[in-house]
Amino acid sequence: MEELPVTAVGLKVNDGVVLGSERRLSYGGYVLSKQAKKVNKIGKFVIAGTGIYGDLQTLTRIMNVEIKYYEITNGRPISVKAAAKLLSVILYQYKVMPFISEILFGGVDQVGPQLYVLDPIGSLIEDSYAAVGSGARIAIGVLESEYRNDMSLEQASELVVKSIKASIERDVTSGDGIDIAIIDKNGNYKDSFIPY
């Protein structure tokens, strides 16, 4: 399968999860936008992805509705693993005409910080760190050389930014700033934009 344009990176540490992505939206060698936010909050979770931007937006909307429906129906919050499995099932249901996306999904619950990687047809893999998209080969090298699960959230954020900056330097479909989302071990959400 051809690599999907854009670069998204995620990692989990003892204190939470950090996901990030650059903002360039490109298609067929053209830059369509420099303001495409590809890291979004869904309930108490965060999603980042690569691929067709409209597919990412649609999946985010579907997941927002499904998570709210689950929580209203069951009278309790959905776990990170259950939400990731729900996303996996949604992706698999569309396997004939799949959402063209690679997704990182993270959150924190009573089990602790969790990070999942999903492909266009719903394969679900839990991991400590991951990079997807056209700049993933470069970003993963940075992550592998510096990742530790006992990093602080500030150090983890700096590593996500460093890995995305490395991919921006070498991948023409990536660029135009970096969005970062953090969920700490208490479930608090924080996001920021870093011009680059």
Q: How far apart are CA 19 and CA 38, in angstroms?
A: 10
Query: 132, 178, 124, 190: which is closest to 11 by C-alpha?
Result: 132
Is residue 15 within 8 A of residue 152, CB to CB? The reply is yes
The strands making up 101-109's β-sheet, listed across from edge to edge, are 39-42, 45-51, 101-109, 112-118, 124-126
- Torsions phi, psi of 31, nearest 5? -90, 115
50 is annotated as an active-site residue:
no
Q: How far apart are the first and last CA of the chain?
A: 29
Active site (catalytic) residues: 7
